[in-house]
Amino acid sequence: MSIKAFLLLRNVARYRIVNFTPIGLRTFSNRSRDEKGWGWKTPGIAALLGSVVVGSALSERLDLRQKAKPATEKEVIEAGVKRPDLPTYRAEEVSKHDTKLSFWVTYKQGVYDVTDFLPSHPGGEQILNAAGLSIEPFWNVYGMHKTEEIYKLLESYRIGNLHEDDLVDHSDEELWAREPRRDPRLSVKTARPFNAETPPKYQILHFDTPNELFYVRQHMPVPELDPETHRLSVVIKEGDGRERRTVLSMQQLQQLPRHTVRAALMCAGNRRTEMHQQVKPVKGISWTTGAISNAVWEGVYLRDLLILCGVDLDNTEGKHVILTGADIDATGVNFSTSIPLSLALEPSARILLATTMNGAPLPPDHGRPLRALVPGAAAVRSVKWLESITISDEESSSHWHRKDYRSFNASVTWETADFSKAPPVYSVPVTSAICSPQHGDTVVVKDGYINVQGYAYSGGGAKVTRVDVSGDQGNTWLEARITAADAAPPPRHYSWTLWELQLPASIQASMEIWVKATDSNCNTQPEKFNDIWNIRGILGNAYHKINIKLKR
Amino acid sequence: MSIKAFLLLRNVARYRIVNFTPIGLRTFSNRSRDEKGWGWKTPGIAALLGSVVVGSALSERLDLRQKAKPATEKEVIEAGVKRPDLPTYRAEEVSKHDTKLSFWVTYKQGVYDVTDFLPSHPGGEQILNAAGLSIEPFWNVYGMHKTEEIYKLLESYRIGNLHEDDLVDHSDEELWAREPRRDPRLSVKTARPFNAETPPKYQILHFDTPNELFYVRQHMPVPELDPETHRLSVVIKEGDGRERRTVLSMQQLQQLPRHTVRAALMCAGNRRTEMHQQVKPVKGISWTTGAISNAVWEGVYLRDLLILCGVDLDNTEGKHVILTGADIDATGVNFSTSIPLSLALEPSARILLATTMNGAPLPPDHGRPLRALVPGAAAVRSVKWLESITISDEESSSHWHRKDYRSFNASVTWETADFSKAPPVYSVPVTSAICSPQHGDTVVVKDGYINVQGYAYSGGGAKVTRVDVSGDQGNTWLEARITAADAAPPPRHYSWTLWELQLPASIQASMEIWVKATDSNCNTQPEKFNDIWNIRGILGNAYHKINIKLKR
């Protein structure tokens, strides 16, 4: 069995098989869903009945198309073969039709305008994930689509052929087919794995970022877990080689006292693009300033759980808590990282095993049904889809822990980097960003001022105490007004801070705006990226500087 | 009664009056001393007997001098009147004779070479405090000196007259007469109040700075407290206006569990001189890099004491812990500052009420018998000679708390500064310094390298994770080797870190060396002082940069 097939089956095995059709189709009822009806997240058994339950309007249309352009038997059975009678489209053109107003997809060499079909899709809005893209990876998983009836239906929407240069082998992509539906307002950086920023205007619009606008950072496809059956294992390795293992259901876990923590999460690579552009190239997702959002998280303290499971409070030195998620890479390895046991047990660290986000169950993109929440730390430590917790004498051995999220000085290259000696990044430094206006904007000056807004944040439980803005390259600094901040005192302050300033705008045609923040440890940001540059482009917290045009 | 007289009596009142002599002299037995014999810290009743107990060698000398230069009756009674037969000295010349090898003092207009008298001084090495200076302020307090016999003895050492332009009215200085003897290796910044740095070579010589080399920062004269009779008051102000007051002896206080914390203390103004010189003038003591030292402190947790005294753990928001010392200013006000109650109760903050320093009772300069120790915070919060602790709805109203140790941005002037809105400085930021070589040194290059050593530190419980050194103005950074660090994990890491590097030295004749540190929150230092400049010159944590000459 190929790795791909293994992974597919492993993924598939999370769902109860409810039926086998005469033609061998498997259909899966996702028991983990708590939405009602035909939500986008519930492909459900109805998909099986696609050819039966399509509405009357759709049936009419099907008839209409069949009459207009009768497909050959072979064409219908295979679908997506070249049709010389139809125009050719480039993938780029197809990709522009990605809204409910104009919704195109491809299947093999076929291009289809399925805009009118959207309301009738038995799988609901799940189909929106394929907007402007090939539906092959989805059908590779939801194989119930591969019937003559559905091929026929699809071909009835045929409008053209995909350019041969744009044909892609989608056979590896079934892993991505169950990705949750994402809010189109997110600013996508990579589609697979899905990584997307909260756009600046939404960062400053809400103190607690709405769940659907919270930035998303995935390393792998999103696993789907059933809160009813999900179990968390806690493994404590004893000195004599024995293991003490505790397995808890979600219900059991929630017997522990519940706590809420208001905390921002920020990717260690937030603002990587500035470092990349202002100094020299780095490797990683090209985050701008949007890889940070804020939320209220609820759950139980990791500390409480570890004490419940019998961790030795007097023997923490050199020990680590390995956190492992259910997301798996192409070689079948689960995502994993670790934090020091001393940090896990530190009351002020307020580390949660969270089940809710802003009062709602965790969305799939944010770890449903359970994630670690390590406030103040690089978000990579807040492991999603948490499956197991292991107390160990060593840090996690995973690639993500050992070969990433470590910091080097500006003179270390990929050739000279010794990851084994660089300490892992846990807490993140003080940073800030201007969210409005945006770099390159033309801004109208009102009564001699322009309005500037943004966020500031510091990790490790520090609170932002001052935000300074300069409109003249640091010659003059003005203190911004804090418009939203959490009341939690340092060193237990884990939220970001929003700020605003009426900045005097002189008569020149353009303006450079700088922002820097100071935190409760009196740490502040370096002016430039030069001396904090590092091969992975993480921890980029130099002043945020933008250029705008002024208009009277 | 004048303020001066009031303060003197108040100070004097700490000591038990053991005798009144026929000529009205008061003598004080300092019951707080635990040293044996005639140590420098024990003026004791023996001073009263000065004219009786002087040794035979001294008596002989007295006779000798009297024979050589017989003073008139009037001269002996008054002492220090002008002697036209003797040469005139400037105060500057006198001040150079400040060692045991050549020890001069002045009294009124008299200049005396008392080198030979030193071993016989009944008050022991206390006399060394007057090296090269006037003994008037000391005799103003230790009035037992003012006898005809001692005047005669003094005049026997007469060598000249003090220049009339250098005559000073010492009548206000009796407050300073009981200052403890300081180690001459300290680098004195101001004599009264006594402020002195640990010289760089001693900073790197010991991980825990020996008590006598620990930098000293006083706001006022050093009070002398008796551990046997000293009491600590804890006052909790209740909502209804009532106060709950607990008074504890040192013995009672030490019934609480004892803890040790290894912590550096750093004045918020450390490195002020660099900011002053590299940007523009600031006000304050001209600290260089020596206003930081490291020690192991032992005592009880403030948190434990507050809980014992019944503080409401669920009602901390907006409350403060006012810490008041026994040191008083010229208007009779005790030194006082405050910290947030939430911080005082934070287990990770590890705030001590300390009684020992590096295993010995606190020296008088460091708060004997009791001081607060707020690790990771500006040292001003670690109140010495602690007399009272008050839980209040407001911060301390003292000048030191309200009008100092607050940070402003670089554009705020003394005219525009609003101290009421600037948050107090508690935790201090990451910093570092080169201790060897020193700026301006000529360094011998060995095998193409020079040895560079120094310290790095970060407040708020953060640990220094990396120290980077550049010999080419930041074009290349080399990671220094950590030579000494404490094992305590962040956020409970409060020690400094010592480091060393073999820095390649090129063929040029001079070299600029930079150092910067990174801490466990991944915060680092700003390159320049420009944007962190502030009116008080505090929190100066830009890269430390020195210039040296190279020698082959």
Which residues on A lie below 8 Å from B541 (Cβ)?
A: 522
ipTM: 0.76
Q: How many Å lie between the alpha carbon of A13 and the closest alpha carbon of chain B?
A: 41
Which pTM value belongs to this model? 0.76
B439 is catalytic: no
Tell me whether residues A489 and B340 touch, CB distance under 8 A.
yes
Tell me whether residues A526 and B530 touch, CB distance under 8 A.
no
For the domain made up of A431-551, give the CATH fold.
Immunoglobulin-like (2.60.40)
> Mean pLDDT of all residues in chain A?
86
The answer, yes or no, to whether residue A4 has pLDDT greater than 60, is: no
Which candidate in A15, A107, A405, A455 is catalytic?
A: A405
Which residues on A lie below 8 Å from B522 (Cβ)?
A: 407, 425, 427-429, 459, 539
Which residues on A lie below 8 Å from B407 (Cβ)?
A: 466, 518, 522
A476 close contact with B: CB closer than 8 A:
yes
Tell me whether residues A531 and B520 touch, CB distance under 8 A.
no
Q: How far apart are CA A464 and CA B16, in angstroms?
A: 51
Tell me whether residues B459 and A407 touch, CB distance under 8 A.
no
Tell me whether residues B520 and A426 touch, CB distance under 8 A.
yes
- Strand duo B231-237 + B386-392: pairing: parallel
B516 close contact with A: CB closer than 8 A:
yes
Specify the domain boundaries for CATH 3.90.420.10 within chain A.
231-402
CB A267 within 8 A of CB A215: yes
Per-residue pLDDT of chain B (552 residues; tens, 9 = 90+): 344 444 443 443 332 222 222 222 222 223 232 222 222 232 322 232 222 223 333 333 333 333 334 444 444 467 999 999 999 999 999 999 999 999 999 999 999 999 999 988 877 777 888 899 999 877 776 667 878 888 999 999 999 999 999 998 776 667 788 899 999 999 999 888 899 999 999 999 999 999 999 999 999 999 999 999 999 999 998 778 889 999 999 999 999 999 999 999 999 999 999 999 999 999 899 999 999 999 999 999 999 999 999 999 999 999 999 999 999 987 788 999 999 999 999 999 999 999 999 999 999 999 999 999 999 999 999 999 999 999 999 999 998 999 899 989 999 999 999 999 999 999 999 999 999 999 999 999 999 999 999 999 999 999 999 999 999 999 999 999 999 999 999 999 999 999 999 999 977 889 999 999 999 999 999 999 999 999 999 999 999 999 999 998
Tell me whether residues A524 and B429 touch, CB distance under 8 A.
yes
CB B29 within 8 A of CB B47: no
Which residues on A lie below 8 Å from B459 (Cβ)?
A: 521-522
The answer, yes or no, to whether residue A239 has pLDDT greater than 90, is: no
Q: Which CATH superfamily is domain B231-402 in?
A: Oxidoreductase, molybdopterin-binding domain (3.90.420.10)
Which candidate in A14, A262, A267, A401 is catalytic?
A: A267
Convert B207-229 to b/e letters by CB count within 10 Å (16 or more is b): bbbbbebbbbbbbbbbbbbbbee
Tell me whether residues B468 and A409 touch, CB distance under 8 A.
yes
pLDDT of residue A76: 45
Specify the domain boundaries for CATH 2.60.40.650 within chain A.
431-551
- Strand duo A442-444 + A544-551: pairing: parallel
Alpha helices for A31-135 (secondary structure H): 50-53, 56-68, 73-78, 91-95
CB B102 within 8 A of CB B132: no
User: E strands, A267-408, where?
Assistant: 292-301, 320-328, 334-340, 352-357, 360-361, 371-373, 386-392
Which residues on B lie below 8 Å from A461 (Cβ)?
A: 491
Q: How far apart are CA B276 and CA B113, in angstroms?
A: 39
* Cross-strand pairs, A296: A262
Q: What CATH number labels A3-176?
A: 3.10.120.10
B371 is catalytic: no
Q: How many Å lie between the alpha carbon of B485 and the closest alpha carbon of chain A?
A: 15
Specify the domain boundaries for CATH 3.10.120.10 within chain A.
3-176
Query: Higher model confidence: residue A68 or residue A359?
Result: A359
Which residues on A lie below 8 Å from B518 (Cβ)?
A: 407
Quickly state the pLDDT bin for A527 (edges 50, 70, 90): very high
B309 is catalytic: no
What are the structure tokens assigned to B504, written together?
A: 């390649």
Residue (of B339, B315, B371, B494) closest to A490 by Cα position: B339
Distant-in-sequence, close-in-space partners of A214: CB < 8 Å, separation ≥ 6? A198, A265, A293, A295, A357, A365, A366
A424 close contact with B: CB closer than 8 A:
no
B435 is catalytic: no
What are the structure tokens assigned to A19, written together?
A: 């039926």
CA distances (Å), origin B225, targets B101, B137, B433, B510: 33, 21, 36, 52
A272 close contact with B: CB closer than 8 A:
no
CB A257 within 8 A of CB A304: yes
- Strand duo B187-190 + A449-457: pairing: unpaired
Residue (of A210, A298, A351, A268) closest to A535 by Cα position: A268
Which candidate in A61, A97, A121, A350 is catalytic?
A: A121
pLDDT of residue B352: 98
